[in-house]
């Protein structure tokens, strides 16, 4: 007897414990039209998440752009969500009888989660980096800030230039899906006691949706951030803060479950204790990948944090346009920055625990959408 778990009108996923392996002449034997066992798909990995086998199909249904999936026992059970055109004939049989693969039915509604899929609101993906290889960072897409001068915050690290130990791409085990690793290390370089990386996108944008899927580091003294700065100095004779800063995500290691979002301008900045900020509690931000979203409109900035199935699950911060450029300089191109600082005026308020190194922020992908 085969006992299976229905979860929607279009797909079934089988309970591993009761399914008998069926591989006939090397071909995959399909059950319930849309799932099979002892099979996998090549490449096209979109994202992955730890899950039970019966939860893999629903997670694919809830994830924007996911069209097919595979489940394996790796890391206690992992759902590998995939994208692109795929049919049952694209699956191949494996020697691992515990693996499951599946495809979404033709009637699958790609607009899920109350319209929170970017495509449901007319968002068009215009740029992305998925880091799906093992090797150095793609320097056609990213630059590096280099130095150890504190970066205005009395930070203790030296930022290196595309150094493997501090910034690299690595494939997940048994997968063609990769991630970027930004790693802070306790080592001496150019007068600093720590090294890290601070990457910035070569592409700049004005208005749109920025999404970054990341798992944050943990440890007192670390200060990871996902943020944006303007391409050029447009307002006044002072680049910062007059021309703006958008902080999608900041976290300090002594408070790892609190995620902060902020803006800085001439009128509102931390130097004069007037910056605008808010935060949200995310209990598993350091143990699981989360999607951090910035929605940037001509009259509003909003940030969110969520999971693959619901990227906008938790609102963090909103800043509405008001006044002149001293309060709203957010009408020019900005670029993305991703970094881990060590110590500093905020991150180092409770000291640096040297036992937590290396500290890693893992970034599965970065995407930018604009409204079509």
Quick: pLDDT tens for 246-293.
Answer: 999 999 999 999 999 999 999 999 999 999 999 999 999 999 999 999
223-243 pLDDT per residue, tens: 999 999 999 999 999 999 999
Q: Which CATH number fits domain 118-371: 2.60.120.200, 1.10.30.50, 3.40.50.720, 3.30.565.60?
A: 2.60.120.200
In the chain, what percentage of residues exceed pLDDT 90? 65
pLDDT (0 to 100) of residue 9: 28
pLDDT (0 to 100) of residue 121: 62
Residue 34 three-state SS:
coil
Give the residue among 260, 261, 264 at the shortest CA–CA distance from 275: 264
Could you tell me which residue, 197 or 372, shows the higher pLDDT?
Answer: 197
| Distance between CA atoms of residues 147 and 163, nearest Å | 13
pLDDT (0 to 100) of residue 105: 62
pLDDT of 24 above 70: no
Task: Mean pLDDT check: name the lowest of 108-112, 271-275, 322-326.
Answer: 108-112
Active site residue 250: yes
Task: Mean pLDDT check: name the lowest of 43-52, 136-145, 363-372.
Answer: 43-52
pLDDT (0 to 100) of residue 19: 34
Q: Backbone phi, then psi, for 271, in 5-degree steps? A: -65, -30
Could you tell me which residue, 111 or 162, shows the higher pLDDT?
Answer: 162
pLDDT (0 to 100) of residue 343: 96
Measured CA angle at 36 (ends 30, 39), to 5 deg: 120
Task: Please report, for residues 132, 256, 341, 344, the alpha-carbon distance to residue 177 in angstroms, rounded to integers and kept in the order given.
Answer: 5, 27, 27, 34
Antiparallel, parallel or unpaired: β 78-83 and 66-72: antiparallel
| Distance between CA atoms of residues 342 and 106, nearest Å | 49
134-146 pLDDT per residue, tens: 999 999 999 999 9
Which residue in the list 61, 155, 183, 245 is annotated as catalytic? 245
289-314 pLDDT per residue, tens: 999 999 999 999 999 999 988 899 99
Give 372's pLDDT tier (boundaries 50, 70, 90): confident
Overall fold of domain 4-103: Hepatocyte Growth Factor (3.50.4)
Give 42's pLDDT tier (boundaries 50, 70, 90): confident
pLDDT of 112 above 50: no
Residues in CB range of 273: below 8 A, 6 or more apart: none
Task: Please report, for residues 130, 189, 197, the alpha-carbon distance to residue 358 in angstroms, rounded to integers and kept in the order given.
Answer: 23, 15, 12
148-181 pLDDT per residue, tens: 988 889 999 999 999 999 999 999 887 788 999 9
Give 117's pLDDT tier (boundaries 50, 70, 90): low
Which residue in the list 187, 250, 255, 362 is annotated as catalytic? 250
Active site residue 165: no
182-193 pLDDT per residue, tens: 999 999 999 999
pLDDT of 12 above 60: no
64-73 pLDDT per residue, tens: 778 899 999 9
Q: Structure pTM?
A: 0.71
Tokens 């999607």 correspond to 291
Residue spans in the chain of domains classed CATH 2.60.120.200: 118-371
pLDDT of 108 above 70: no
């Amino acid at each position: 007897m085969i006992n299976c778990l229905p979860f929607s009108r279009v797909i079934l996923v089988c309970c591993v414990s009761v399914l008998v392996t069926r591989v006939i002449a090397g071909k995959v034997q399909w059950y319930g039209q849309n799932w099979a066992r002892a099979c996998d798909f090549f490449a096209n990995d979109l994202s992955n998440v730890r899950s039970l086998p019966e939860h893999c199909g629903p997670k694919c249904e809830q994830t924007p752009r996911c069209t097919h999936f595979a489940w394996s026992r790796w890391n206690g059970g992992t759902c590998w969500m995939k994208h692109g055109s795929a049919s049952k004939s694209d699956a191949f049989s494996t020697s691992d009888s515990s693996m499951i693969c599946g495809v979404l039915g033709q009637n699958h509604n790609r607009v899920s989660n109350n319209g929170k899929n970017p495509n449901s609101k007319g968002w068009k993906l215009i740029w992305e980096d998925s880091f799906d290889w093992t090797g150095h960072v793609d320097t056609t897409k990213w630059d590096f800030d280099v130095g150890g001068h504190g970066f205005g915050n009395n930070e203790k690290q030296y930022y290196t230039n595309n150094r493997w130990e501090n910034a690299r791409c690595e494939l997940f085990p048994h997968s063609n899906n990769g991630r970027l690793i930004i790693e802070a290390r306790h080592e001496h370089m150019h007068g600093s006691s720590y090294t890290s990386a601070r990457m910035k996108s070569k592409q700049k944008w004005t208005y749109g949706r920025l999404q970054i899927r990341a798992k944050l580091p943990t440890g007192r003294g670390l200060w990871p951030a996902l943020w944006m700065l303007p391409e050029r100095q447009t307002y006044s004779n002072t680049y910062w803060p007059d021309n703006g800063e958008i902080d999608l995500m900041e976290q300090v290691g002594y408070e790892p479950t609190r995620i902060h979002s902020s803006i800085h301008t001439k009128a509102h900045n931390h130097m004069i204790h007037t910056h605008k900020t808010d935060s949200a509690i995310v209990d598993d931000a350091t143990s699981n990948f989360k999607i951090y979203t910035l929605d940037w409109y001509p009259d509003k900035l909003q940030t969110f944090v969520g999971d693959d199935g619901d990227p906008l699950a938790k609102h963090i911060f909103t800043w509405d346009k008001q006044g002149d450029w001293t309060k709203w300089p957010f009408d020019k191109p900005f670029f993305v920055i991703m970094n881990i600082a060590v110590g500093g005026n905020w991150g180092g308020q409770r000291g640096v625990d040297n036992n937590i190194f290396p500290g890693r922020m893992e970034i599965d992908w970065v995407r930018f959408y604009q409204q079509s």
